[in-house]
Amino acid sequence: MVTYHFNVFNRDQTIAAIQSIVFSNPRAIWTKVTELAWSIGEIGGQIKVTDQAGGLVVLVGVNSARRAGAPSGGESSQAA
């Protein structure tokens, strides 16, 4: 089990959210990154994830994280 620290930064580099979560499976990090990307209202910014030792695990733009995973509501990005 490893503690991961999630920091969400707005476009102006102010911190929008901070969370620390313990995961036994590191693949679960991406699920949380996608969830955070869809939950913040602002487009732009970055999500940074570090491990308990402070090592960088993920650094991704919010827009890229949104494209990488659909929101949990099952919304589609296809045009009607």
CB 72 within 8 A of CB 35: yes
Residue spans of the domains in the chain: they are 2-68
Whether the predicted pLDDT of 61 surpasses 50: yes
Confidence band, pLDDT 50/70/90 cuts, at residue 80:
very low
Q: What is the pLDDT of residue 12?
A: 86
pLDDT digits (tens, 9 = 90+) for 7-57: 999 888 888 889 999 999 988 999 999 999 988 877 789 999 999 999 999
Other beta carbons within 10 Å of 6: 20
Whether the predicted pLDDT of 70 surpasses 70: no
Q: What is the pLDDT of residue 71?
A: 58
Written as six digits, the tokens of 17 are: 């959210």
* Positive/negative CA dihedral, 20, 26, 28, 32: positive
